[in-house]
Chains A and B, each alone.
Chain A
Amino acid sequence: GAVVSQHPSWVICKSGTSVKIECRSLDFQATTMFWYRQFPKQSLMLMATSNEGSKATYEQGVEKDKFLINHASLTLSTLTVTSAHPEDSSFYICSARDWGQGNNQPQHFGDGTRLSIL
């Protein structure tokens, strides 16, 4: 089945640091990937839609200068949390869909990245 890999799985860093999270589709190409954020005991909230070769589409209330998204290839999207602060601590999850399999395909999710800002 389709596999989505995220790296790193857990990162702890100091306030003010920028952190990059990678999302890879391992055995399929993904022109579109999605980035979600999940706070403890809460549901997933879509942050942005990452489009290969073009700018990401951000959801209302998500700062695009704070959460930089780059989708440089058909198998890789990156989310960079710039100048991270403790309130950015959360669980970040990416997903991707195998567009090569036709229209009726669901999204496949990565394992998530737990970000802790001290």
Chain B
Amino acid sequence: AQSVSQHNHHVILSEAASLELGCNYSYGGTVNLFWYVQYPGQHLQLLLKYFSGDPLVKGIKGFEAEFIKSKFSFNLRKPSVQWSDTAEYFCAGSRTAGNKLTFGGGTRVLVKP
């Protein structure tokens, strides 16, 4: 069965620190991977997506993620976080772009000002 796992449940860091959130998937064959962010009191928003091609994907708000097929990973990174990056981050995967998503457990990120 397909699954997506996120390594960290909670991350606390200071402004300007670098952020990396781990995500691993178990899918055979083609996989589409996503990172979503949920700010407090808001709906899920897409940060970035990987379908094919360049494994380094750049998203909104300075986020990027790297698809490493050999490691079944799709880690999210941001070189320098801001207080406004405080949110919950979800990694998700699907077999095709519009198909049902399997979500990881989420990582709550708290950026201290």
A69-108 vs B: 1/0 string, CB under 8 Å?
A: 0000000000000000000000001010101000111111
B39 → chain A closest CB, angstroms: 12
Query: Closest CB of chain A to B113's CB: distance in Å?
Result: 24
Q: How many interface residues does A have (CB within 8 Å)?
A: 23
Contact B97 A43 (CB under 8 A): no
By the criterion CB–CB under 8 Å, are B51 and A104 in contact? Answer: yes
Would A109 and B100 be within 8 Å (CB), given that A42-B105, A43-B90, A104-B51 are in contact? no
Which B-chain residue is minimally distant from A96 (CB atoms)? B98
* Residues on A with beta carbons closer than 8 Å to the beta carbon of B98: 32, 97, 99, 103, 105-107
Residue of B43, B96, B100, B103 near A111 (CB, 8 A) is B43
Whether a CB of chain B sits under 8 angstroms from the CB of A12 is no
* Contact status A109-B44, CB under 8 Å: yes
Interface string of B70-98 (1 = CB under 8 A from A): 00000000000000000000100000111
Known pairs A104-B51, A106-B49; A46 contacts B100 (CB<8 A)? yes
A117 to B103, CA, bound (A): 26
- A45 and B103 in contact (CB under 8 A), knowing A103-B97, A105-B97, A106-B49? yes
CA of A13 to CA of B92, assembled, Å: 32
Whole-angstrom CA separation of A110 from B46 in the bound complex: 12
List chain B residues, Cβ under 8 A from A110: 43
* CB-defined contacts of A107 to chain B, threshold 8 Å: 98, 101
Task: Flag if B97 contacts A104 (CB, 8 Å).
Answer: yes
> A34 near B100 (CB under 8 angstroms)?
yes
Chain B residues with CB under 8 A of A46: 100-102
How far, in whole Å, are A112 and B45 apart by their CA atoms in the complex? Answer: 12
A118 touches B (CB below 8 Å): no
**Residue of A34, A44, A103, A106 touching B46 (CB-CB under 8 A):** A106
Contacts of A93 in B (CB 8 A): 43-44
Closest to B96 in A: A103
Q: Can you offer 8 A-B residue contacts whose CB atoms are under 8 A?
A: A42-B105, A45-B103, A95-B101, A97-B97, A103-B97, A104-B97, A106-B34, A107-B98
